Structure 1
Amino acid sequence: MTYVVTESCIRCKYTDCVDVCPVDCFREGPNFLVIDPDECIDCAVCVPECPVNAIYAEDDVPGDQQQFIKINADLASSWTSITKSKGALPDADEWKDVKSKLAELVK
């Protein structure tokens, strides 16, 4: 099992989760983070660090977020590793409670 970043992260990209990851499994895109399923060791330390509750165990991903399992796996192969936290996107606070943001995802 791996952990999955879901829709809540889009256009926010808070990176609190990155600093606690012991294996550097996060990958960074323009406005979203993903977890590389081949690197994740299922430790769950990232879950409570996410201020928008975007990270789930693969088996617990909500039904309406299931497509993010594949999105994480696909994008992890082409996005670069992020190993240190940085500031969230400038308008992250405006987007953190917005639902249905998949169309905003920049690949």
Structure 2
Amino acid sequence: MTHVVTDNCIKCKYMDCVEVCPVDCFYVGESMLVIHPDECIDCGVCVPECPAEAIFPDTDDAATPFWLELNKTYAERWPNILQKREPPADAKEWDGAPDKFARHFSDKPGSE
């Protein structure tokens, strides 16, 4: 079992989840964070910390196979993030915006 970061993280990229993760399983891309499914211990402490409500257990309907695979793929490519940073200045404007993956996902790594 694992948790999965989904599309509402894109362009919001709040990092409250990073601060509470006991196993440091978050990885940072240019436009979002992902969880490494092989490192996540399924504790769930990150879920209530996400202001964008973008994290779900892999048993939830929102955590489709697409999102599980995306998290796994990019957790292996992007740098591990160990400390909370400030979200983008316009994060609140992007929270809940439609079609964020198709329009704003970047496969580029973020800075650790």
TM-score bucket of the superposed structures, by smaller chain? over 0.9
Q: Give matches, 1:1-107, under 5 Å.
A: 1-62=1-62, 65-103=64-102, 104-107=104-107
Deviations 1:55-101 (A, max 9, x none): 000011427x5411110010000000011100001221110120221
Is this contact kept in 2: 1:4–1:61, CA < 8 A?
no
Any stretches of 5+ residues in structure 2 without a counterpart? 108-112
Runs (4 or more) in structure 1 with deviation over 4 Å come to none
User: TM-score, length-normalised on structure 1?
Assistant: 0.94
Q: Number of residues paired by the alignment?
A: 106
Is this contact kept in 2: 1:52–1:96, CA < 8 A?
yes
After superposition, the CA RMSD in angstroms is 1.2
Any stretches of 5+ residues in structure 1 without a counterpart? none
Quote the Cα distance in structure 1 between the aligned partners of 2:75 and 2:106. 14
